[in-house]
Structure 1
């Protein structure tokens, strides 16, 4: 038995499916005693037989393990990888010590088909019955130690069929790993251009709501089908909301996506306000927004059927033949006749550089472009970058920025872009709680809204970001509905000015209530023992007199 188990383990580790199947089927006693969910120990990175079967796409063993041996594909190894992770990993996986998962061989179409077959089996697997009456399913959004999902690995490996199966099973397209990269970013990084474009289009046009993680799950209660007029938004939700608004506006105006984004930004992301300005003076509206008037597309085409994708390779300049009559002819000097001159450094732009297309016609070399864009992004002015030419107010297109700056700077640009989207949008506010990266969108009823299940919106409504952080929409302070912000400020001022001698002769209950209100207004609870602490002088470094705990008054 022991010899058979050792041979079977070695066959799994090396990927010898024929030998592993022969040992498994040829020894009934070993087959009955085998537990596919049992770890092989620390030497083997705590991988289970099911991990190795998925790693090498052993379809026959996988079918037997899942449906005859109660195998669980959600089991994790030392790297927190499930069977879906190792199944979708490509040949770029790192080499690990003996017994760890080794890189699979490159078997292009046949290998991908086998993995797609294995993936279908895992996705159709049902496990034990859970408390809610449902059955355990394979977790397609499980993350490993690098915060990567199986969709990240499948996209990086370019396995299109596996990617499609995962998306059909509600895999999160917007999930970011530890490097803030989505599956679409991984596909682009590994030069799977067609797959990256497909993922990008699904991210833009997807109307499915982002799945909430277990830590973000927030129970919703309803009364008479009442729906709250606000919703908490994660960063992925904000990107999706912004993209959908741009796409719908571009389709309505028959304009490029970049033009629609600039128009929306100039009108506080209010589509109704933009349409009103567009109908009165479309050309002036574009001029004030820093873009040119869009050319109507041919009839029968969608607004962006003719638009190049940001990931579509640009057409290089036509080749130029140079006839050298002397050795000095090979030197390109500033201002040389026939060559464009950079408007910043005044050097000639090399004919071998890819052109930077700007509708205003101003030309600059790539080095000056990159330096200019880096400075603008570092200054936080990423959402409003104009052409560097003097008194030119033409906005720089997004695809130009992405093609010139580094990956790190591009990520910072996207962060500033989302921040500007929220701060310039009157219907969205950031959650004021420190280190909470959520936002809240409030939907105010219009004059024609007659929803029987809705209630009138209060002057200062209390909203929740989705993490239990309740705050006032107007003043961003603690929630105080139904009273408005001015009444709340007056009440706090009244409590602050209250003196102990004024409480003489009042009832004990009233005095206790007044004391509690004074403590709430003039003190903060210690972060350790929760004792009330008042700050009356000195710096923000505080020490609790009761438990001697040190903390910052601002961060508390």
Structure 2
């Protein structure tokens, strides 16, 4: 989907200024960052791009590091071989030309490769172009790794820059994904940019300040720029996150009413962190599995396990004061859960109604379009 000049003008949503950018416009911004660094220090575009990826496209932070007096160390840490660094070959004493003359790939160890079919970075580790292509394709298509693809040699940290990747990759599908992942790394690193979450949309929102305001893409998708979720006015992003966590199961899917009732009936809460726990064994010595808690307690009385010691069976004796305190605590927790279920049921009803309305809208729109085409309206 292309965006016309008219559509690229700033949009306003309750005095909140934003733009909807195409892939080309995002890439122009990336090029602008590279040119900004290039105007200050003489480095190749490929080197600057590698540096910017490492610093998450923060030009200010990169310039500070470039002029802190230790540029060679910076290049070494990132995996860039400086032009002023003395190059060595794999065995340390032969020239690179003689290595090429050997015509041996150090991955497949084929010895009938023509010298021009070998390729190596500034580290001088040589591999045939076929192995290079397979290696880069796996990194891009399977691992989605474009931030810092390094030399295939096991112990080498020299980074393959963008020009070298595009030189070795000829498959248009792989090239397209590499370019998209590069663009995605720029957008995800920039707090003032956010992708439209619609799967088939390739636009991004650009704002002047990051705030929780609704924004609308040219595809019609409306989201909150602050959190990236569907527009959730009038509640704030934090409240939405808390609601999403509370209404989701362990696999992230929304829980239903029967599940919630089962939780109420068959589980107890950790006395320390309030994590819901199900007993799956005969021993009453429980350990909370929450990473930040690990509290040990008795399943019967919910007191700390350290208090049992030699008086293990004391928890089987009824104690009025302890029983009252425990009942009050449990009652308060269950009240909170019941209150949540009250609002959750109504939330799910409204959500279902909205889905039905959207389906009805889609059906009516299709029929109207069909009638207009049929009767030339």
* Corresponding residue number in structure 2 for 1:479: 231
Residue in structure 2 matched with residue 252 of structure 1 by the alignment: 40
**1:325 counterpart residue number:** none
Partner residue, 2:190: 425
Determine if contact 1:431/1:438 at 8 Å carries over to the other structure.
Answer: yes
In structure 2, how many angstroms separate the alpha carbons of the residues matched to 1:286 and 1:469? Answer: 42
Structure 1: state its 5+ residue gaps: 1-146, 148-174, 176-209, 297-316, 321-334, 445-456, 501-513, 532-556
Shift of residue 357, structure 1, vs aligned partner: 4.6
* 1:218-243 deviations in Å (ceiling 9; x for gaps): 784699xx671x32211111221112
Give the Cα–Cα distance (whole angstroms) in 1 for the partners of residues 175 and 47 of structure 2.
20
Alignment check: 8 A CA contact 2:117 2:128 kept: no
Displacement after TM superposition at 1:347 (Å)? 2.9
The CA deviation at 1:480 is 4.0
What is the CA–CA distance in structure 2 between the aligned matches of 1:497 and 1:242, rounded to whole Å?
A: 46
For residue 284 of structure 1, what is the aligned residue in structure 2?
A: 73
1:267, distance to aligned residue in structure 2 (A): 0.9
1:75-120 deviation line (CA, Å, top 9, x unaligned): xxxxxxxxxxxxxxxxxxxxxxxxxxxxxxxxxxxxxxxxxxxxxx
C-alpha separation in 1, matches of 2:136 and 2:242: 47
CA distance in 2, matches of 1:287, 1:439: 34
SS of structure 2 residue aligned to 1:356: strand
CA-to-partner distance for each residue in 1:258-292, whole Å, 9 max, x for gaps? 11111111111111122233333322322232212
Change (3 A) 1:252 1:392: same
Structure 1 residues 412 and 489: CA distance shift in structure 2, 3 A: closer
2:269 is matched with none
The whole-number CA distance in structure 1 between the counterparts of 2:206 and 2:128 is: 42
Q: Which structure 2 segments of 5+ residues have no match?
A: 86-95, 247-335, 363-377
Counterpart of 1:520 in structure 2 is 350
- Deviation for aligned residue 1:424: 3.6
Secondary structure in 2 matching 1:406: coil
Structure 1 Cα separation of the partners of residues 225 and 31 of structure 2 = 24
Asked if 2 retains the 8 angstrom alpha-carbon contact of 1:349 and 1:364, the reply is: no
For these two proteins, the number of residue pairs brought into alignment is 257
CA distance 1:440–1:217, change in 2 (3 Å)? closer
Given the alignment of the two structures, is residue 369 of structure 1 paired with residue 132 of structure 2, yes or no?
Answer: yes
User: Please, which of 115, 123, 134 is the counterpart of residue 360 of structure 1?
Assistant: 123
- Are 1:267 and 2:55 counterparts? yes
Give the Å deviation of 1:530. 5.7
* 2:77 aligned counterpart, secondary structure: helix
Alpha-carbon shift at residue 489 of structure 1 (Å): 4.6
- Does structure 1 conserve the Cα–Cα contact (< 8 Å) formed by 2:54 and 2:147? no
**What does residue range 67-82 of structure 1 map to in structure 2 within 5 Å?**
none
Q: Partner of 2:127: helix, strand, or coil?
A: coil
Give CA deviations for 1:190-238 in whole Å, capped at 9, x if unaligned.
xxxxxxxxxxxxxxxxxxxx7447xx57784699xx671x322111112
Displacement, 1:368?
A: 1.6
Deviation, 1:385, is: 1.6
* 1:304-351 alpha-carbon deviations (Å, 9 max, x no partner): xxxxxxxxxxxxx99x9xxxxxxxxxxxxxx9x952432112233645
Question: In 1, distance between residues paired with 2:31 and 2:107?
Answer: 34
Q: Secondary structure at the match of 1:253?
A: coil
Task: For 2:72 and 2:341, locate their aligned partners in 1 and report how far apart those are by CA, in whole Å.
Answer: 60
> Does the aligned pair in 1 maintain the 2:11–2:19 contact within 8 Å?
no
How big is the shift at 1:433?
A: 2.7
Task: Answer 1 or 2: which has greater helix percent.
Answer: 2
Task: Give 1:529's aligned residue.
Answer: 360
Which of 214, 232, 236 is 1:462 aligned to? 214
- SS of aligned partner of 1:291: coil
- Aligned mates of 2:29, 2:112 — CA distance in 1: 40
* Correspondence for 1:384 among 148, 154, 174: 148
Residue matched to 1:59 = none
Q: Distance in 2 between the 1:342 and 1:524 partners?
A: 60
Quick one: higher RCO (CA 8 Å, sep 6+), 1 or 2? 2
- 2:20/2:204 contact within 8 Å kept: yes
Match of 1:23 in 2: none
CA RMSD of aligned residues (A): 4.0
CA contact (8 A) 2:151 2:158 kept: yes
The alignment's TM-score, normalised by the length of structure 2, stands at 0.56
Contact in 1 for aligned 2:37/2:63 (Cα 8 Å): no
- Counterpart-to-counterpart distance in 2, 1:474 and 1:481: 12
Q: Which has the higher strand share?
A: 2
CA 1:284/1:521 → structure 2, altered by over 3 Å: closer, same or farther? farther
Q: For 1:490 and 1:403, how far apart are their aligned partners in 2? A: 48
Residues 496 and 393 of structure 1: CA distance in aligned 2, closer, same or farther (over 3 Å): farther
- CA pair 274-354 structure 1, distance change in 2 beyond 3 A: same
What secondary structure sits across from 1:238 in the alignment? helix
TM-score by length of 1: 0.40
CA separation of 1:417 and 1:221: change in aligned 2, threshold 3 A:
closer
Superimposed CA distance per residue, residues 395-430 of structure 1 (whole angstroms, 9 cap, x where no aligned partner): 113222222222423223222222233234333221
Report the CA distance between 1:257 and its aligned residue.
0.8
CA displacement at 1:470 relative to structure 2 = 2.8
